[in-house]
Amino acid sequence: MAFRPALRPGAPLLRRDATHLQIGTSPGIVIADRPGLGALLRLLDGVRDTERLQQLVARDVPELHADVASTLAELRAVGAVVDADAAEAVRRRFDRRRVGFVVTPGAAGLVATTRAALVSAGLHDLTSSDPELLVIVSHGEVERSVYELASTRGLDHLPVVVDEDRVRIGPLVRPGRTPCVTCHDLHRADWDPAWTAIVPQLGSRPPLVRPAALDGLALHAAAVEVAAEVVALLDDDTLRTAGHCLVVGPRHDDRASWPVAFHHRCACDLLTAA
């Protein structure tokens, strides 16, 4: 594919002093100026390829004596110039990726904010009936059959629970590969034996939505954390909620995290053997 050079995204071209140019300000890449270099840099629009730029320079920038291709290669090596096609491919890497949501009453605000964050990250298919990841967002703990169904289907799923004034994210379940919600419940029952009696009641009496206990900024912070986990899963990146729960709130910058291991009484780790 042709190299279509563009200046480093978001970085302005500046004059530093009589003999140097600077690209960007964080902190900026300094390059030695030479006749015609500024004019060449101003021709880079991410659309013209090297050959077209050579033609334009030959016509309009006679003062540039250096070879266009090797000048651009030099600038690319120091990060002042990038390949626009490659940058665009990175930006569009989620075009065909599929995410689904299960939403219980009262959780719509968190879901809308999470979806907006995912759209900003380049995801478009957020209502897939055949998702790569199902995000299960509930206001209060939800009945366990929702998670069990996803596990039975072998579907990766991320529980997100608005729990009073905070949001619990995880454990992210990759059935048979990471600890599941039943593991989580069994660990809780180990220190709180009544949990076994409580679990069957979950979801049957959803909490009242008003007054909302969750602070608006904490809701946005939680949405970003959920979106970041979705992106990490699609990018095969490190997952903070696989084998862990991450809690956001009550303040927007409050975070708590704890590990969730496979529980010896849960058979979910046998799923892959089946």
Interacting residue ranges for Zn ion, rule: CB under 5 A: 180, 182-183, 266, 268
Q: How far apart are CA 130 and CA 147, in angstroms?
A: 16
Taking the complex as a whole, the smallest distance from the CB of residue 173 to Zn ion amounts, in Å, to: 8
Q: How far apart are CA 136 and CA 159, in angstroms?
A: 5
Taking the complex as a whole, the smallest distance from the CB of residue 180 to Zn ion amounts, in Å, to: 3
Q: How far apart are the first and last CA of the chain?
A: 45
148 vs 254 by CB, closer to Zn ion? 148
DSSP assignment letter at 125 = B
Taking the complex as a whole, the smallest distance from the CB of residue 263 to Zn ion amounts, in Å, to: 6
251 vs 265 by CB, closer to Zn ion? 265
Look-up of token digits 């120091």? 78
**HEC sequence for 193-251:** CCHHHHHHHCCCCCCCCCCCCCCHHHHHHHHHHHHHHHHHHHCCCCCCCCCEEEEECCC
- Single-letter amino acid code for the residue at 177: R
Taking the complex as a whole, the smallest distance from the CB of residue 79 to Zn ion amounts, in Å, to: 46
Taking the complex as a whole, the smallest distance from the CB of residue 217 to Zn ion amounts, in Å, to: 33
194 vs 270 by CB, closer to Zn ion? 270
212 vs 266 by CB, closer to Zn ion? 266
Q: How far apart are CA 10 and CA 6, in angstroms?
A: 10
> Is the Cβ–Cβ distance between 110 and 134 less than 8 Å?
no
43 vs 271 by CB, closer to Zn ion? 271
Q: How many Cα atoms sit within 13 Å of 7 on the Cβ side? A: 22
Taking the complex as a whole, the smallest distance from the CB of residue 174 to Zn ion amounts, in Å, to: 11
115 vs 174 by CB, closer to Zn ion? 174
Look-up of token digits 């897939």? 128
